[in-house]
Amino acid sequence: MTTLKGPAQPRYVTGIGTLALPYSSSGRLPTCPIMLKRRVWLEIAAGRIAHISAEDANPPPDAVPDNTFDAQGSLITPGFVDAHTHPAFVDCRSGEFVKRCRGETYQQIAAAGGGILSSMRAVRAASEEELTTLVEKRFRRFLELGVTTIEAKSGYGLTVEDELKSLRAIKKAAQPSGLDCCPTLLGAHTVPPEFVDKPDDYVKVVADEMIPRAAKEGLAEAVDVFVERSAFNVEQARRVLEAGRSAGLKLRLHTDQFTSLGGVRLAVEYEVASVDHCDYISAVDIKLLAAAGIPIVLLPGAVFFLDQERYADARQMVDSGCCIALSTDFNPGSSPTQSLPLIMTLACLKMRLTPAEALWAATLGGAYALGRQSDVGTLFEDFQADFCLWDAPEIDYIPYTFGDQRPAAVFKKGMRFAE
């Protein structure tokens, strides 16, 4: 394909080879979760899809080069909705990667003061401006790679001021980048060193100070907590969720990443917006999430990069009627990738999803996890005109050409993203 050229804010997108439309009115994946329309054109108005032509229709009579973007036979998919990222960090932890290449484990590195605590030290030392600049650069990269809506967590400050600083950096970075961003307070990511012998006291700070302030200052849409042996137990997580609920925020849970401690039952009790990781979830808990209609955010990048054996049983989740999202978990420790196409490849090979299911989970599934399923994640009429053009004949090519697949062009609210 020659370089795609056209107006930055077209009224029409013509010459579409295939338009991929994820669909579901219930959050359950239909057997063929992507509707494919061949040789169509789109009309965009006020940043939304105003019209999709019939297949093989003639181009609109008033289409001229000034108002028309020629897709030259491209495949068009919705922009990705990445429902789980940790972009508010300073340092890349490539030194830890080198240690892991030599055989040290993620847990050993964390126990020796590395891991999340190493990122914490750097975030505490950084100014809000420095952090904003870094997050903005990462948001631009997400857009370049086809992500048009994102969830972004704090979680590397671990004091009231440093968590609020991180959330402000996320908010400030989102505006110029153009990404739609759902910020989440993850003050309960791990217990900071000052509270190592009194974790309940830290939970009290999160519940009584951090959450109310983040809510009052309009800095977070949701609250998250990491339920794990190295982080918080179910009772501590309950206090965090209780505080989040009282503050009127949505709730999320990192759980069953390495062990299953009962986080899923807590998630069901609190009717959380999403349950994330779930590599060690039991078959019984999968059924509970299906019955409760709670989306599961799958993060195979972390399993791969930590060289773990066990991936979430996405096949069983889909077959049980769960809503699944597929996300990068972008963070400097367990998943330093921003590429959802690569995550789709992992989901297909390691979690036995079909490419269509993986695309569904990375678009409409993410939208369900963020509660934006009426607005983004697909491209039917009235949805936001957030889409990617791919130099690919079929959606299978996105996960198939693994490791180097990126869109030929990205549009956000009908406007072409330019690097």
Side-chain-side CA neighbours of residue 93 (13 Å): 28
| 3-class SS of residue 189 | coil
Residues in contact with Fe ion, shown as a per-residue x/- string from 320 to 359 under the rule CB under 5 A: ---------x------------------------------
Range 346-352 contact pairs with CB under 8 angstroms and sequence separation of 24 or more? 346/300, 346/301, 346/303, 346/304, 346/311, 347/298, 347/300, 347/314, 347/399, 348/399, 350/300, 350/303, 350/304, 350/311, 351/298, 351/300, 351/311, 351/312, 351/313, 351/314, 351/315, 352/314, 352/315
Does residue 298 belong to the site contacting ligand NIG (CB under 6 A)?
no
Does residue 279 belong to the site contacting Fe ion (CB under 5 A)?
no
Q: Which is nearer to ligand NIG, 54 or 98 (CB)?
A: 98
> Among the candidate windows 115-123, 210-218, 238-246, 361-369, which touches ligand NIG by CB under 6 A?
115-123
- Which residue has the CB atom at the shortest distance from ligand NIG? 333
d(CA 86, CA 66): 40
Residues in contact with ligand NIG, shown as a per-residue x/- string from 48 to 87 under the rule CB under 6 A: --------------------------------------x-
d(CA 253, CA 36): 34
Q: Least distance (Å) from Fe ion to the CB of residue 369?
A: 13
Q: Least distance (Å) from ligand NIG to the CB of residue 151?
A: 12
Does residue 302 belong to the site contacting ligand NIG (CB under 6 A)?
yes
> Among the candidate windows 14-22, 64-72, 111-119, 138-146, which touches ligand NIG by CB under 6 A?
111-119
d(CA 90, CA 412): 27
Among 53, 72, 85, 119, binds ligand NIG (CB under 6 A): 119
Residue 245 parent element (H or E): helix 234-246
Crossing angle, helix 116-125 and helix 160-177, to 10 degrees?
Answer: 80
Residues in contact with ligand NIG, shown as a per-residue x/- string from 323 to 352 under the rule CB under 6 A: ------x-xxxx------------------
Beta strands in 189-231 (DSSP E): 222-226
The site that binds ligand NIG (CB under 6 A) totals a number of residues, namely: 13
State both tokens at 114: 């590395």
Q: Which is nearer to Fe ion, 329 or 386 (CB)?
A: 329
Does residue 157 belong to the site contacting ligand NIG (CB under 6 A)?
no
Residues that bind Fe ion (CB under 5 A): 329
Residues that bind ligand NIG (CB under 6 A): 86, 115-116, 119, 226, 254, 257, 302, 329, 331-334
